[in-house]
Structure 1
Protein backbone atom coordinates (compact mmCIF):
# COMPACT_ATOMS: atom_id res chain seq x y z
CA UNK A 1 0.00 0.00 0.00
CA UNK A 2 1.40 3.41 -1.03
CA UNK A 3 1.11 5.76 1.91
CA UNK A 4 2.76 8.75 0.20
CA UNK A 5 5.03 11.09 2.11
CA UNK A 6 4.93 11.24 5.92
CA UNK A 7 2.31 13.73 7.06
CA UNK A 8 0.92 14.09 3.53
CA UNK A 9 -2.65 13.29 4.50
CA UNK A 10 -2.58 16.24 6.90
CA UNK A 11 -1.09 18.73 4.43
CA UNK A 12 -3.49 21.30 3.06
CA UNK A 13 -2.80 22.37 -0.48
CA UNK A 14 -2.18 25.98 -1.42
CA UNK A 15 -4.61 28.09 -3.38
CA UNK A 16 -3.65 31.47 -4.81
CA UNK A 17 -6.26 34.12 -5.56
CA UNK A 18 -5.23 37.11 -7.69
CA UNK A 19 -7.38 40.24 -7.92
CA UNK A 20 -7.12 44.01 -8.34
CA UNK A 21 -8.11 46.43 -5.60
CA UNK A 22 -7.36 50.11 -4.95
CA UNK A 23 -4.66 50.34 -7.63
CA UNK A 24 -2.85 47.23 -6.37
CA UNK A 25 -2.65 43.61 -7.32
CA UNK A 26 -3.74 41.57 -4.32
CA UNK A 27 -2.33 38.07 -4.09
CA UNK A 28 -4.04 35.91 -1.48
CA UNK A 29 -2.38 32.55 -0.84
CA UNK A 30 -4.33 30.20 1.41
CA UNK A 31 -3.17 26.95 2.97
CA UNK A 32 0.36 25.74 3.55
CA UNK A 33 3.20 27.55 1.79
CA UNK A 34 6.07 25.09 1.70
CA UNK A 35 8.46 23.37 -0.69
CA UNK A 36 5.55 21.32 -2.09
CA UNK A 37 3.39 24.32 -2.94
CA UNK A 38 5.70 27.33 -3.31
CA UNK A 39 5.88 27.11 -7.10
CA UNK A 40 2.18 27.99 -7.38
CA UNK A 41 2.72 31.25 -5.48
CA UNK A 42 6.04 31.93 -7.23
CA UNK A 43 4.32 31.70 -10.62
CA UNK A 44 1.51 34.10 -9.67
CA UNK A 45 3.93 36.62 -8.17
CA UNK A 46 6.36 36.40 -11.09
CA UNK A 47 3.54 37.07 -13.54
CA UNK A 48 2.77 40.26 -11.61
CA UNK A 49 6.36 41.49 -11.53
CA UNK A 50 6.93 40.53 -15.18
CA UNK A 51 3.82 42.52 -16.13
CA UNK A 52 5.31 45.55 -14.40
CA UNK A 53 2.78 45.77 -11.59
CA UNK A 54 4.01 48.63 -9.42
CA UNK A 55 2.29 47.56 -6.23
CA UNK A 56 1.73 44.03 -5.00
CA UNK A 57 -0.13 43.39 -1.75
CA UNK A 58 0.11 39.88 -0.37
CA UNK A 59 -2.85 39.07 1.86
CA UNK A 60 -1.37 36.49 4.23
CA UNK A 61 -4.55 35.96 6.25
CA UNK A 62 -5.21 32.53 4.70
CA UNK A 63 -1.73 31.12 5.30
CA UNK A 64 -1.59 28.28 7.79
CA UNK A 65 2.15 27.67 7.49
CA UNK A 66 5.22 29.07 5.75
CA UNK A 67 8.60 27.35 5.54
CA UNK A 68 11.93 28.66 4.25
CA UNK A 69 10.99 27.91 0.63
CA UNK A 70 7.89 30.06 0.96
CA UNK A 71 9.87 32.79 2.64
CA UNK A 72 12.39 32.73 -0.21
CA UNK A 73 9.55 33.17 -2.73
CA UNK A 74 8.41 36.29 -0.88
CA UNK A 75 11.95 37.66 -0.63
CA UNK A 76 12.71 37.05 -4.31
CA UNK A 77 9.46 38.77 -5.30
CA UNK A 78 10.37 41.80 -3.20
CA UNK A 79 13.71 42.06 -5.00
CA UNK A 80 12.10 41.65 -8.46
CA UNK A 81 9.46 44.25 -7.70
CA UNK A 82 11.92 46.78 -6.30
CA UNK A 83 14.28 46.35 -9.27
CA UNK A 84 11.32 47.23 -11.50
CA UNK A 85 10.44 50.27 -9.37
CA UNK A 86 7.58 48.56 -7.54
CA UNK A 87 6.87 47.48 -4.01
CA UNK A 88 5.57 44.46 -2.12
CA UNK A 89 3.39 44.94 0.95
CA UNK A 90 2.39 42.13 3.31
CA UNK A 91 -0.91 42.22 5.20
CA UNK A 92 -2.73 40.27 7.89
CA UNK A 93 0.03 37.86 8.81
CA UNK A 94 -1.14 35.05 11.07
CA UNK A 95 1.04 34.57 14.18
CA UNK A 96 2.74 31.46 12.76
CA UNK A 97 3.86 33.37 9.66
CA UNK A 98 4.75 36.52 11.59
CA UNK A 99 6.97 34.40 13.85
CA UNK A 100 9.05 32.99 10.97
CA UNK A 101 9.40 36.51 9.57
CA UNK A 102 10.58 37.73 12.97
CA UNK A 103 13.00 34.85 13.58
CA UNK A 104 14.64 35.27 10.18
CA UNK A 105 14.64 39.07 10.24
CA UNK A 106 12.61 39.19 7.01
CA UNK A 107 10.05 41.47 8.63
CA UNK A 108 12.71 44.21 8.52
CA UNK A 109 12.81 44.21 4.70
CA UNK A 110 9.06 44.16 4.06
CA UNK A 111 6.38 46.75 4.63
CA UNK A 112 3.98 44.87 6.90
CA UNK A 113 0.41 45.99 7.62
CA UNK A 114 -2.01 44.78 10.27
CA UNK A 115 -4.95 44.75 7.86
CA UNK A 116 -5.53 44.46 4.14
CA UNK A 117 -7.40 47.77 4.14
CA UNK A 118 -4.39 49.45 5.74
CA UNK A 119 -2.08 47.95 3.09
CA UNK A 120 -4.34 49.07 0.26
CA UNK A 121 -4.52 52.59 1.67
CA UNK A 122 -0.80 52.99 2.34
CA UNK A 123 1.25 55.19 0.01
CA UNK A 124 3.22 53.20 -2.57
CA UNK A 125 6.58 54.21 -1.12
CA UNK A 126 5.80 52.85 2.36
Structure 2
Protein backbone atom coordinates (compact mmCIF):
# COMPACT_ATOMS: atom_id res chain seq x y z
CA UNK A 1 0.00 0.00 0.00
CA UNK A 2 1.41 3.35 -0.96
CA UNK A 3 0.41 6.33 1.15
CA UNK A 4 0.80 9.89 -0.11
CA UNK A 5 4.14 11.50 0.50
CA UNK A 6 5.17 15.12 0.63
CA UNK A 7 7.75 16.90 -1.43
CA UNK A 8 9.07 20.39 -1.82
CA UNK A 9 12.17 21.65 -3.56
CA UNK A 10 14.55 20.64 -0.78
CA UNK A 11 13.03 17.72 1.15
CA UNK A 12 10.69 14.82 0.49
CA UNK A 13 9.03 12.09 2.55
CA UNK A 14 7.44 9.07 0.91
CA UNK A 15 5.39 6.69 3.08
CA UNK A 16 4.46 3.13 2.19
CA UNK A 17 3.91 -0.23 3.84
CA UNK A 18 6.28 -3.09 3.02
CA UNK A 19 5.97 -6.56 4.58
CA UNK A 20 4.01 -5.18 7.54
CA UNK A 21 6.50 -2.39 8.27
CA UNK A 22 5.98 1.27 7.52
CA UNK A 23 8.80 2.57 5.34
CA UNK A 24 9.59 6.29 5.28
CA UNK A 25 11.89 7.24 2.43
CA UNK A 26 13.57 10.60 2.98
CA UNK A 27 15.24 12.69 0.32
CA UNK A 28 17.05 16.01 0.12
CA UNK A 29 17.87 18.28 3.04
CA UNK A 30 16.28 17.83 6.47
CA UNK A 31 16.53 20.95 8.60
CA UNK A 32 14.52 23.45 10.64
CA UNK A 33 12.65 24.73 7.59
CA UNK A 34 11.78 21.31 6.12
CA UNK A 35 11.21 19.03 9.13
CA UNK A 36 7.41 19.36 9.50
CA UNK A 37 6.48 16.64 6.95
CA UNK A 38 8.79 14.24 8.78
CA UNK A 39 7.22 15.12 12.14
CA UNK A 40 3.75 14.48 10.69
CA UNK A 41 4.80 11.11 9.24
CA UNK A 42 6.41 10.09 12.53
CA UNK A 43 3.30 11.13 14.50
CA UNK A 44 1.10 9.06 12.18
CA UNK A 45 3.44 6.06 12.57
CA UNK A 46 3.37 6.40 16.37
CA UNK A 47 -0.43 6.29 16.37
CA UNK A 48 -0.30 3.10 14.30
CA UNK A 49 2.51 1.56 16.35
CA UNK A 50 4.48 -1.34 14.94
CA UNK A 51 7.74 -1.24 13.06
CA UNK A 52 8.98 1.86 11.26
CA UNK A 53 12.01 1.81 8.97
CA UNK A 54 13.40 5.19 7.86
CA UNK A 55 15.38 5.04 4.62
CA UNK A 56 17.98 7.80 4.90
CA UNK A 57 19.93 6.89 1.74
CA UNK A 58 18.50 9.83 -0.23
CA UNK A 59 19.17 12.37 2.52
CA UNK A 60 22.00 14.76 1.66
CA UNK A 61 21.85 16.80 4.88
CA UNK A 62 20.35 16.49 8.36
CA UNK A 63 20.73 19.04 11.15
CA UNK A 64 19.83 18.83 14.84
CA UNK A 65 16.16 19.55 14.07
CA UNK A 66 15.94 16.42 11.95
CA UNK A 67 17.80 14.38 14.53
CA UNK A 68 15.47 15.62 17.28
CA UNK A 69 12.41 14.75 15.20
CA UNK A 70 13.72 11.21 14.77
CA UNK A 71 14.57 10.90 18.48
CA UNK A 72 11.09 12.08 19.49
CA UNK A 73 9.57 9.70 16.95
CA UNK A 74 11.59 6.84 18.41
CA UNK A 75 10.29 7.59 21.90
CA UNK A 76 6.67 7.89 20.71
CA UNK A 77 6.89 4.62 18.80
CA UNK A 78 8.50 2.86 21.76
CA UNK A 79 5.69 4.08 24.03
CA UNK A 80 3.18 2.71 21.50
CA UNK A 81 4.92 -0.68 21.52
CA UNK A 82 6.68 -0.11 18.20
CA UNK A 83 10.19 0.51 16.98
CA UNK A 84 12.05 2.96 14.75
CA UNK A 85 15.01 1.73 12.71
CA UNK A 86 17.28 3.58 10.30
CA UNK A 87 18.65 2.35 6.98
CA UNK A 88 21.11 3.74 4.47
CA UNK A 89 23.01 6.27 6.59
CA UNK A 90 25.79 7.75 4.50
CA UNK A 91 28.06 10.73 3.96
CA UNK A 92 27.61 13.80 6.14
CA UNK A 93 24.38 12.40 7.64
CA UNK A 94 26.19 9.31 8.92
CA UNK A 95 28.98 11.51 10.26
CA UNK A 96 26.51 13.66 12.23
CA UNK A 97 24.90 10.53 13.70
CA UNK A 98 28.35 9.18 14.69
CA UNK A 99 29.52 12.47 16.23
CA UNK A 100 26.35 12.83 18.32
CA UNK A 101 26.23 9.16 19.29
CA UNK A 102 22.75 8.83 17.78
CA UNK A 103 23.91 5.87 15.69
CA UNK A 104 24.07 3.96 18.98
CA UNK A 105 20.51 4.90 19.95
CA UNK A 106 18.79 3.56 16.83
CA UNK A 107 19.09 0.16 15.20
CA UNK A 108 20.98 1.05 12.00
CA UNK A 109 20.96 -1.12 8.87
CA UNK A 110 23.19 -0.83 5.82
CA UNK A 111 20.19 -0.51 3.49
CA UNK A 112 16.42 -1.01 3.33
CA UNK A 113 16.73 -4.59 2.09
CA UNK A 114 18.83 -5.51 5.12
CA UNK A 115 16.42 -3.70 7.45
CA UNK A 116 13.35 -5.43 6.05
CA UNK A 117 15.10 -8.78 6.16
CA UNK A 118 16.05 -8.33 9.82
- Shared topology, TM-score over 0.5? yes
Runs of 4+ in 1 over 4 A off after TM superposition: none
Larger Rg: 1
Q: Structure 1 stretches of 5 or more lacking a match?
A: 1-11
1:1-40 equivalences in 2 (<5 Å): 12-40=9-37
**Residue 63 (structure 1) aligns with:** 59
Once the two structures are TM-superposed, the CA of residue 35 in structure 1 deviates from its matched residue by 0.2
The structure in which a higher percent of residues are strand is 2
CA deviation digits over 1:56-97, x for unaligned, max 9? Answer: 000001101000000000100110111111111100112211
Rounded to whole Å, the distance in 1 between the matches of 2:84 and 2:96 is: 18
Q: Normalising to structure 2: TM-score of the pair?
A: 0.90
Q: Distance in 2 between matches of 1:14 and 1:95?
A: 17
- Give the secondary-structure state (helix, strand or coil) at the position aligned to 2:16: strand
Tell me the C-alpha RMSD between the 2 structures: 0.9
User: Does 2:101 match 1:83?
Assistant: no
Question: When the two structures are superposed, what TM-score results if normalisation uses the length of structure 1?
Answer: 0.84
